[in-house]
A and B are shown apart, each in its own frame.
Chain A
Amino acid sequence: MKYLLIVDDHADIRRLLSITLGRQYEVLEADNGTAALEVIRRYHPMVVLLDVMMPGELDGLDVLDAIKADPASKDTVVGMVTARGQQSDSDQARKRGADAYFIKPFSPLQVVSWVREHMP
């Protein structure tokens, strides 16, 4: 099974992404960083769409670091979906291993086409 994980504390955003992607992929959801890492450990999703600013112990960048640090998950494709719009933010995320950087508000159709590139 090819899994796709959506991590965001906002249920509306998770729903927006899941209704566009859910038709083609098996979609998993998590509303905080700790839960996201648990899901990744258990289901090994191919692609993770990751919010940066989330309540809880781990924010999106921490989760990104954890994914890239673990040999079991380091090949996971990560797309950041965030409200942080600065060039410096996206630069930093790419440096830490993110494959794409979507700034909110984003085009769901663009996200779908990007995911399709990585999950045929």
Chain B
Amino acid sequence: MNRGGAIWPDTSSRDARILLIVWVTTALLLLVTLLHVYSLEKEDRLRVLAAADRDLYNLTRVSQEHSNRTFRSADQVIRFVQSRYLEVGPKLNLADLSARGVIDTQIFNQVGVIDEKGIYILSNLPLKGKMDLSDRDHFKVHVARETGEMFVSKPVLGRASGKWSIQLSRRISRADGSFAGVVVVSIDPGYFTRFYADLDLGSKGMAALYGLDGVARARMVGEVADFGANADKSPIFSLVEAGGQAGSYTQTSVVDGVERLYFYRKVPGFALVVVAGTELRYLLEGHVAARDALYFQALLLSVMILFLATSLTYYLQKIRKEIASRRLAQLQSHERSMQLSAIFSMSPDGFVSFDEGRRVKYVNPSFCRVTDISPQSLQGLDEADFSARLAAQCVSAARFKGLGSMSRPDLAAGSMEVDIIELVGTPKRLLQVGLLQGDTASVPLILYFRDVTQEIEVGRMKSEFLSTAAHELRTPMASIYGFVEIVLADQDLSDTHREYLEIAYRQAQVMTHILNDLLDLARIEERHGSDFRYAPVNLQELLRSVVHALPIPVGRERPGLNLSTQALVVVADEGKLRQVLVNILSNAYKFSPDGGAVDVVLEVQQVEGIRMACMQVSDQGIGMSAEQIAQVFTRFYRADASGRISGTGLGMSIVKEIVKLHDGQVTLASNLGMGTQVSVLLPLAAAGSASEAAV
């Protein structure tokens, strides 16, 4: 059975390969999705940060300009007071200048002059007693020499005002360059932080003005302003030291722990740097939302890819299972057809099957052997060609008439139409041809051939034998019977010789009857009633005629007739039915040697719901025991063992065979010494036949 394997190669390794491809593709798709999402996210982040960077660049530029202008205008005021002090000395009225608007007190808290000893001698605000400021940085820095620069102090909490202030100071040098004092302008660092509050930096933004000494002049972190904080840990200072004029960086604040993007810018002409920062989270808010949406879409996509791959795997497995089961079914059907073809090839009967196109599909070896037709010459022939090919092998008297004449549309599937053909050549060969209408579309027709030569020959020989035997036995019997009869006619015969010859004559008669009955029985059995001439028979008329013609023993009455007045008609062979009645009636007389009436009754009986004609013959004779009744239809059985009553022992057998072929029944009722009743039941003809017979 290796053929099975060859026809159906194993595909499981191929299936595994397909699955591998599916899952590798899935993994690649997921990876590509991931990378794409990552790059999109990164790109967006960079775009957002670049935009923020630009914003901060602009804001620090504004902040720088604001600081620069503020300090420059402070420097102008300082320079003005410086020159006026050199002209007029301590008589300079700063309050007057302030009142006249020369000094802008909105920005500058206080403008004053400290003399060379460090005493605060002039102010636009009223002075409360002598105030020594010689220990202050903004004084000390100018004592030794002219720096040429305005000094910007760290924010200090004013001793007098109790307010935060930044001191801006310049040295007053006399014409000879000697130290004459210092002009001081106090500025409110809140002026800067209020400005920062107006900048849009987000809720957790920051802005600051740092001195390059690492101390914050003003700083706004979120909502909180502070002054004078040490900020030397900020990377700005190292960046500026490295030569940076402006730039950005990202850092987590040491003040409030918020991560920000910072931009710094040095204030030109001053040892100051402005910085602005925006919370990264605030900056990236839109980006994060977009990123989350992107992640969600990527997740959906991934789930879909995984779902597709899983479904694909599932269906592949399912298809694989289906293919496997279909393959199994095909294998089974293949095996079954192998089995069938093995059976067909071994069958002694011939088979030819036709496909749906009514062409020869299969021819078994027996057919070819019997008909002497090679299978190759039949393959693919259509109905007509096949019929012609087979007909050519037949004798003209019993030719194959063709499929067309055999197949009929009204023939039910599975039923068979049978024909007999005779093949050419010797010895004589007869084939029974059967046509089987298949019930499947793939095998619509099967022709079946059986060699029936022997069966038919045996049947023919049997009837030939019977006919020969009849001739050969009857002729010698004719001599015996005839010559004995002639001798018996001689008047000169002695009584003893006459007695002997009469015995011989009687026995010759018996033998003739046996011969006749045997031949009758054999003929009926051989023909199965096929030579019966069926016609409607009126039973009343038949009975009257039979009773009238019946040879009646000397001294006996004719049978009494009690016939139904209704015309009873059966379909029967009248001659055979006459034989039945004669046999029964002659038995009635034979088995009532002591006389008594013989009666015939005709009536209708219902047998299992069917109306049947019942002919009943009764006698008053010796009757039969139950054992005898059981034997009555046995051939050559004779109820009379004494030999006084002549007979062949075949009469009732003939009755039974004939009645059986008419679909009827014979029943017998009897008791020893009480007579016998024989009933013959025959199915009544249909109304149509009855009226036909009545015409």
By a beta-carbon cutoff of 8 Å, the part of chain A in contact with chain B is 10, 12-13, 16, 19-20, 53, 83-88, 103-109
Contacts and interface: CB of A to CB of B under 8 A. Distances in A.
Closest 3 CB pairs of A and B: A83-B474, A105-B481, A104-B478
Interface string B637-650: 00000000000000
Given A13-B479, A87-B575, A105 B474 contact: yes
A34 to B, nearest CB: 20
A109 B471 contact: no
Contacts of B470: 83-85
Contacts of A85: 470, 474, 516, 519
9 contacts: A16-B482, A20-B486, A53-B471, A83-B474, A84-B471, A103-B474, A104-B475, A104-B478, A105-B482
Nearest to A16: B482
B304 interface: no
Contacts of B482: 13, 16, 105-108
Contacts of A16: 478-479, 482-483, 486
Contacts of A108: 482, 485-486
A83 B485 contact: no
Given A16-B478, A105-B508, A109-B485, 17 more contacts: A12-B475, A13-B482, A16-B486, A53-B471, A83-B471, A83-B472, A84-B467, A85-B470, A85-B516, A87-B575, A105-B477, A105-B512, A106-B481, A107-B481, A107-B482, A107-B485, A108-B482
B458 interface: no
Q: Is the interface of B mostly helix, strand, loop or mixed?
A: helix
Contacts of B508: 105
Given A10-B475, A87-B575, A105 B486 contact: no
B493 to A, nearest CB: 15
Interface of B: 467, 470-472, 474-475, 477-483, 485-486, 489, 508, 512, 516, 519, 523, 531, 575
A22 to B, nearest CB: 12
A84 B466 CA distance: 11
A85 B474 CA distance: 9
A108 B483 CA distance: 8
Given A85-B470, A85-B519, A109 B475 contact: no
A104 to B, nearest CB: 4
Nearest to B473: A83
Contacts of A106: 478, 481-482
A106 B480 CA distance: 10
Nearest to A81: B478
Nearest to A9: B475
A85 B477 CA distance: 13
Nearest to B579: A87
Contacts of A109: 485, 489
A73 to B, nearest CB: 26
A8 B404 CA distance: 51
Nearest to A86: B523
Contacts of B467: 84
Contacts of A20: 486
B264 to A, nearest CB: 143
Contacts of A10: 475, 479
Contacts of A103: 474
A84 B473 CA distance: 11
B486 A19 contact: yes
Given A10-B475, A83-B475, A84-B470, A105 B480 contact: yes
Contacts of B480: 105
Contacts of A87: 575
A106 B467 CA distance: 18
A10 B480 CA distance: 13
A56 to B, nearest CB: 15
Contacts of B481: 105-107
A19 to B, nearest CB: 7
Nearest to A11: B479
Given A84-B470, A85-B516, A104 B477 contact: yes
A113 to B, nearest CB: 12
A26 B640 CA distance: 48
Contacts of B474: 83, 85, 103-105
Nearest to A103: B474
A83 B489 CA distance: 24
B478 A105 contact: yes
A88 B533 CA distance: 11
A54 B531 CA distance: 25
A107 B480 CA distance: 11
Contact of A13 (B478, B485, B519): B478
Contacts of B519: 85
